[in-house]
Structure 1
Amino acid sequence: MDALTPLINGLNLHAKLVYSGGVCGRWRMDHNSETSVWFHLISKGQGFVHSPNWQTPLVLNKGDLVLFLPHAARHFLSYSAEHLPDTDKDTRMTPWKEGEAGFVCGEIELATPKSLLWQALPGEIVIRQNQPVNSLARLIELIIGEASGQRFGSDSVIERLCDSLFVLVIRYCIEEGLVRKGLFAAMQDKRLAMALGLIHQQPWHAWTLNELCTRAGVSKSVLSEKFTTLIGHSPIKYLTVWRLQIAAHWLMQPAMSVERVAERCGYESVPAFSKAFKRHFGVAPGSFRRV
Structure 2
Amino acid sequence: MDALTPLINGLNLHAKLLYSGGVCGHWLMDHNSETSVWFHLVSKGQGFVHSPRWLAPLALNTGDLILFLPHAARHFLSYSPEHLPDNDQNTRLTDWLDGEAAFVCGEIKLAAPKSLLWQALPAEVVIRGDQAGDILAKLIDLVIAESSAQRFGSDSVVERLCDSIFVLVIRYCIEAGLVREGVFAAMQDKRLATVLGLIHQQPWYPWTLAELCTRAGIAKTPLSDKFAELIGYAPIEYLKAWRLQIAAHWLLEPDMTVEKVAERCGYDSVPAFSKAFKRHFDQPPGAFRRNGDSSS
Match of 1:30 in 2: 30
Q: Residues of 1 paired with 2:239 and 2:104: CA distance?
A: 36
> Do the aligned partners of 1:203 and 1:266 also contact (CA within 8 Å) in 2?
no
For this pair of structures, how many residues does the alignment match?
291
Q: Residues of 2 paired with 1:138 and 1:211: CA distance?
A: 41
Deviation at 1:60, TM superposition (A): 0.3
Match of 1:235 in 2: 235
Deviation at 1:165, TM superposition (A): 0.9
Q: Residues of 2 paired with 1:223 and 1:204: CA distance?
A: 21
String of CA shifts for 1:51-86, please: whole Å, max 9, x gaps. 011111000000000000000011000000111111
User: Any idea what SS the aligned residue of 2:224 has?
Assistant: helix
Match of 1:195 in 2: 195
Q: Residues of 1 paired with 2:252 and 2:94: CA distance?
A: 34
Runs of 4+ in structure 1 over 6 Å off = none
Please give the residue correspondences for 1:1-291 in structure 2 after superposition, counting only pairs within 5 Å: 1-291=1-291
Q: Residues of 2 paired with 1:105 and 1:246: CA distance?
A: 26
Q: Which runs of 5+ in 1 are unaligned?
A: none
Give the aligned residue type for 1:256.
M
Deviation at 1:270, TM superposition (A): 2.5
Deviation at 1:262, TM superposition (A): 2.2
Give the aligned residue type for 1:151.
R
Deviation at 1:268, TM superposition (A): 3.5
**Range with bigger deviation, 278-287 or 26-35:** 278-287
User: Any idea what SS the aligned residue of 2:23 has?
Assistant: strand
Q: Residues of 2 paired with 1:225 and 1:260: CA distance?
A: 36
Give the aligned residue type for 1:96.
W
Q: Residues of 1 paired with 2:34 and 2:230: CA distance?
A: 25
Deviation at 1:125, TM superposition (A): 0.3
Q: Structure 1-normalised TM-score?
A: 0.98
Q: Residues of 2 paired with 1:155 and 1:249: CA distance?
A: 24
Deviation at 1:171, TM superposition (A): 0.5
Give the aligned residue type for 1:171.
R
Give the aligned residue type for 2:282.
G
> Do the aligned partners of 1:50 and 1:57 also contact (CA within 8 Å) in 2?
yes
Q: Residues of 2 paired with 1:255 and 1:86: CA distance?
A: 40
String of CA shifts for 1:154-174, please: whole Å, max 9, x gaps. 111001111111111001000
Q: Residues of 2 paired with 1:234 and 1:281: CA distance?
A: 18
Q: Structure 2-normalised TM-score?
A: 0.96
Deviation at 1:260, TM superposition (A): 2.9
Deviation at 1:255, TM superposition (A): 1.9
Deviation at 1:178, TM superposition (A): 0.3
**Range with bigger deviation, 82-91 or 259-268:** 259-268
Deviation at 1:134, TM superposition (A): 2.3
Q: Which runs of 5+ in 2 are unaligned?
A: 292-296
Q: Residues of 2 paired with 1:29 and 1:287: CA distance?
A: 31
Deviation at 1:271, TM superposition (A): 2.4
**Range with bigger deviation, 265-274 or 187-196:** 265-274
User: Any idea what SS the aligned residue of 1:288 has?
Assistant: helix
User: Any idea what SS the aligned residue of 2:97 has?
Assistant: helix
Q: Residues of 2 paired with 1:223 and 1:64: CA distance?
A: 39
Give the aligned residue type for 2:45.
G
Deviation at 1:106, TM superposition (A): 0.2
User: Any idea what SS the aligned residue of 1:106 has?
Assistant: strand
Q: Residues of 2 paired with 1:216 and 1:259: CA distance?
A: 35
Cα RMSD, aligned residues only: 0.9
Q: Residues of 2 paired with 1:4 and 1:268: CA distance?
A: 30
User: Any idea what SS the aligned residue of 1:98 has?
Assistant: coil
Deviation at 1:245, TM superposition (A): 0.8
User: Any idea what SS the aligned residue of 1:276 has?
Assistant: helix
> Do the aligned partners of 1:41 and 1:65 also contact (CA within 8 Å) in 2?
yes
